[in-house]
Homo-oligomer: A and B are copies of this chain.
Amino acid sequence: MAKVAVIVDEMFEDSEYTVPVEAFRQAGHEVVNVGLERGREVKGKKDSTAVVIDSSVDDVRAEDFDALLIPGGYSPDKLRAHEGPVKFAREFMEKDKPVFMICHGGQLLVTADVLKGRRVTGWRSIKQDLRNAGASYEDSEVVEDGNLVSSRQPSDLPAFVEASLRRLD
């Protein structure tokens, strides 16, 4: 079974955390909440879903995990203001490990500068950011390109979870 890191901070989009995490756990995979500070509780922006950070991002490395999930909301923009989360996400891309990102999740990979020539989707407000980072933007419920699985918004979650689970088998 796989070990999945979820990189998350305050104001994540609740369902983009809860739906994939529940699906991964039900399929028998291990989920570890990685954030800025171990033990801190962070909350979702809509339903105030509480998530306790299991590991500080500065204490872990991509090689400790099989895949990375980046939920959306304002969490990715908060994370990318710090060096640790950017470096952590970049490691998954460099090691070609599965990365699942939805909504604003792609902001973290823009700052990590790892999207040149990649096919992606994401929330419409970051379309130009993804293109300017060298990616080609597709307006689809899920885009799969190598190790990268991306979706636009909560209504894409069924397709996003299905595609992500396939990478963990």
Interface residues of A (CB under 8 A from B): 74, 77-78, 80-81, 104, 107, 110-111, 113, 123-129, 132-134
**Within the complex, what minimum Cβ distance (angstroms) separates A88 from chain B?**
16
CB neighbours of A128 from chain B (8 A): 80, 110-111, 113, 133
**Within the complex, what minimum Cβ distance (angstroms) separates A99 from chain B?**
17
- A110-B132, A132-B134 are known; give 13 further A-B pairs, CB within 8 A: A77-B77, A77-B125, A78-B125, A80-B128, A81-B123, A107-B125, A110-B128, A111-B127, A111-B128, A128-B133, A129-B132, A132-B132, A132-B133
Residue of B nearest to A79 (CB): B125
A127-B107 Cα distance, complex, nearest whole Å: 11
**Within the complex, what minimum Cβ distance (angstroms) separates A83 from chain B?**
10
A129-B111 Cα distance, complex, nearest whole Å: 8
CB neighbours of A129 from chain B (8 A): 110, 129, 132
Residue of B nearest to A123 (CB): B81
- Are A81 and B113 neighbours in the complex by a CB distance under 8 Å? no
CB neighbours of A126 from chain B (8 A): 77
A74-B78 Cα distance, complex, nearest whole Å: 11
CB neighbours of A134 from chain B (8 A): 132
CB neighbours of A104 from chain B (8 A): 77
**Within the complex, what minimum Cβ distance (angstroms) separates A84 from chain B?**
14
**Within the complex, what minimum Cβ distance (angstroms) separates A90 from chain B?**
12
**Within the complex, what minimum Cβ distance (angstroms) separates A135 from chain B?**
10
Residue of B nearest to A104 (CB): B77
Residue of B nearest to A115 (CB): B132
